[in-house]
Amino acid sequence: MSDNYKRLLPAPMPPGSAHASAPEASFPKDSGPPVKKRTVSKAACNNCRLKKIRCDGKRPSCTACTKAGVECNFVTASSDETPFMALKREVESLRRSTEDMLELFDVLESAPEAVSIDILRRLKSARNLAEIANDPSDVLMSVKKDLGDGHLLPVKLSNRQLMAGLIPETQQTPEYELMMRCPTSYPMLMPVEIAFLNLADLLRPAILEPPKSPSFMGNGESTPSSSATPLAGPSESTPRSAMSSAWLDTSNPEPDNFEPLQSLQGIIDDRLKGVNFQAWTKVPIPNELAATLISMYLEIDHPWCPLFDADLFLNDCMQEKTHFCSSLLVNALLAWACQTYSNLLPDATGFAVPFESEAERLWATEKVNNTLTAVAAAQLLNSTSSSQGRDDFASQILDEGIQMGRRMGLFGVGNENASALTWLDHHQDWLKAACHTSWGIFSCACMRSLHLHRAEIDKPPMLPMPGEYFEARGSSNFHSAHTRRLVPTRVGDAFRELCKLNIIVHEIIWEYFGKTDVVPAARATIGFAERIYQRLFQWAAELPLELARARRNRHSTLMLHLYYHCTVMELFWPFLQQSANKPINIAQLTSTSAMLKDIHEASVNQLKRLALIYCINFNKACSSTLWHIALLYLANAMLCETMRSGKVRDPECWFYFMLCMTYGSFQVVEVTMLGLLSMSLRNGFLSSPEANTVLNYMRTIGRRYDAQFTVRASFMVDLELAMTNPREAQVQTLAEAFHELAIFREFTTGELR
């Protein structure tokens, strides 16, 4: 038999045969060469499979590849894995990767904008592999880890969870006690997940959009139904991603406590329809446009900071009398209105500079005369020039106007004999006009001083506040008894309470910014802060019920609360760098663990909610000066909060910061945004591409402004730095540093514009 075949053993013998019990050794064994067993590999390498040769499967390189000197690769992960098992593993990996990518896409679509941008940055970044891998699965795992197992991701709440969330928990924090003891200014806030808010909707005020043609009909002649009125409420203007302001506060306001702006619908006062504005100005503006602009001023800015009595002004304006109206006042008022409301009325843009030039010409001749109309016009002209960045001229005309007010005894006098009461006592109309002008200028000065960190008026007015009673003296010819006389007003209770608040603010201004050049951080004391905050708390607790915080407050009421919380933040800002954790004793609070930062943070949280309410209810009134100041305070708070917490990319802080960055109604807003962007780049809060995107957006808005003026401004932007280094905190300094910081970050981080 050939040796090529394996030798077969004999068949087993049947039982009982003679050879069945024979020992195995009795059979002859094969004396041929030993048979070599074949080595079987479960998976050949790629090269052997391609050449269709036998592969022994040795790793990392098989024998054939080693002899051939080529690289050996396997489709299987180990020697025990078959090709089918490898294919199955690859399919499973692709399935998991697809699921992760779909989940990541859902997060990008529904998460807060800050989270979405951060995810995109991680996906695009492949330079720093130690920070994040390029695999979408790793990105998703990292995002979930950073978000704390997804607590910021949008979730669907059951009715039971929603009702449980509406019930406030029993807490012992100072902020909770403030909410319980002073709900008028510290209402209980239901938590709002920013994941449910569409930032794109909130960031679209009425900018560069042609409004509906304003009707020249008075309110009394047109009563459209709510379904046909575009300004009937926030739900009928810009959509807000199915989010109603009813979900923001837990207060239950009166149903008629909200009045939407109506000036784009029609003139709010019939007397404006009868005014011939060509009798008051040389600027060829249509009467309808001028009447609409003044109507908007009377509706937006005048109720919370009146510089004149509206009734007396409109009567004289219509009858062409010059007691309480003048060409200077009309031109200054229209210059301010054209500058401020050009985002709502684009046709007014081209009239801002001519009105301002005409008002400047008239001021040069009338500033030597002491008149109520001239001193009010000086404030309006100052606001117009400063909003355009003409800081030098604005300061000059402001000083001249304040000096005129002192000469007239409207403010800054030490006794009643030097005040305007000596020449106003027996003239009801003049008294009413002087009270509005004096307290209006004083309120503007207080708000401006907080913004500029500069004291202006040393003593408040001695005239009665509009809407208050005062003791009227008897006639000099007849010895009549003193009588109580009321100063009538149309502006309501909000302005009277604002005047009371500004008396407290006036003390803060002179303590922090007056008399000497010592920085506020070196002048402020905890004892002073405790004493002033107790007065602020008492003022808030005594507010009338109609001025309490509610979900649909009037515009003037909302401005009052914005101003209050900005004041509280300013009061405690000098202590945040070094003394934030020091205890504070407030007589109205029982909590003994209250710290300075707790009171400050409580106002920051209220300011966040007020900003949301304002965007929802008053997106057409985003031109108000105090609104821009409040946004500046909120933006600073968000930057400081991220730096203290170490969470530079905190989604909630990013949301509110971007909310502050996208409202601009003045030419000086661009340089203000540059200052804030400079701060955000310095803190690492924004990247250079993000900062340039915001800047380009603001420049798109600013195209409607006249570019003949070089913007110069000196107010504070970095409010915390201003407590220790005011010069470096000014807007001009920070704006000039923006491009240097952007270039530096491009070199150090590799970011491209």
> Looking at per-residue confidence, does 6 or 339 come out higher?
339
Same-domain pairing of 332 and 425: yes
Distance CA 382, CA 206 (A): 25
750 φψ region: left (φ > 0), alpha (ψ -120 to 50), beta (else): left
Structural domain includes residue 610:
yes
Please give the C-alpha separations between residue 190 and each of 169, 179, 187, 241, 250, in angstroms, as whole numbers. Answer: 11, 12, 9, 18, 7
Identify the residue whose tokens are 């390189």: 61
The last residue of a domain, from among 616, 645, 675: 616
Same-domain pairing of 522 and 458: no
> Looking at per-residue confidence, does 272 or 5 come out higher?
272
Start-to-end Cα distance in the chain: 86
Same-domain pairing of 554 and 540: yes
- Which amino acid makes up residue 600? H
Q: What is the mean pLDDT of the segment spanning 298-312?
A: 89
What's the pLDDT at 91?
86
Q: Is the pLDDT of residue 35 over 60?
A: no
Answer whether 322's CB lies under 8 Å from 316's CB.
Answer: yes
Q: What is the mean pLDDT of the segment spanning 168-193?
A: 80
Instruction: Specify the DSSP element, H or E, that contains 470.
Output: strand 469-472
Environment class of 582 (CB within 10 Å of its CB; exposed 0-12, middle 13-18, buried 19+): exposed
Closest CA to 418 of 376, 463, 456: 463
Give the tokens for residue 332: 């200054």
Per-residue DSSP letter, 708: S
Give residue 634's domain range: 622-753
Same-domain pairing of 748 and 640: yes
* Mean predicted lDDT score pLDDT of the chain: 76
Closest CA to 678 of 630, 717, 632, 631: 717
Adjacent-strand bridge partners of 469: 486
Answer whether 745's CB lies under 8 Å from 688's CB.
Answer: yes
What's the pLDDT at 215?
39
> Looking at per-residue confidence, does 38 or 454 come out higher?
454
Structural domain includes residue 31:
no
Same-domain pairing of 423 and 361: yes
- Please report how the helices 352-366 and 327-340 are oriented relative to each other, as an axis angle in degrees rounded to 10: 150
Please give the C-alpha separations between residue 242 and each of 545, 551, 677, in angstroms, as whole numbers. Answer: 30, 16, 31
Please give the C-alpha separations between residue 505 and each of 251, 450, 631, 702, in angstroms, as whole numbers. Answer: 27, 9, 19, 33
Give the tokens for residue 233: 């409420």
Which of these ranges, 311-315, 338-342, 452-456, has the smallest mean pLDDT?
A: 338-342
Q: Report the share of the chain in percent with pLDDT over 70.
A: 70
Same-domain pairing of 663 and 649: yes
Which of these ranges, 9-13, 411-415, 450-454, 529-533, has the smallest mean pLDDT?
A: 9-13
Confidence tier at 568 by pLDDT (50, 70, 90): very high
pTM reported for the whole predicted model:
0.70
Structural domain includes residue 54:
no
Number of domains in the chain: 4
What's the pLDDT at 195?
65
The last residue of a domain, from among 113, 146, 179: 146
Phi and psi (nearest 5°) for 742? -65, -45
Report residue 258 CA to chain centroid gap. Answer: 23
> Looking at per-residue confidence, does 674 or 323 come out higher?
323
Q: What is the mean pLDDT of the segment spanning 321-330?
A: 93
Same-domain pairing of 578 and 626: no
What's the pLDDT at 710?
56
The last residue of a domain, from among 563, 583, 616: 616
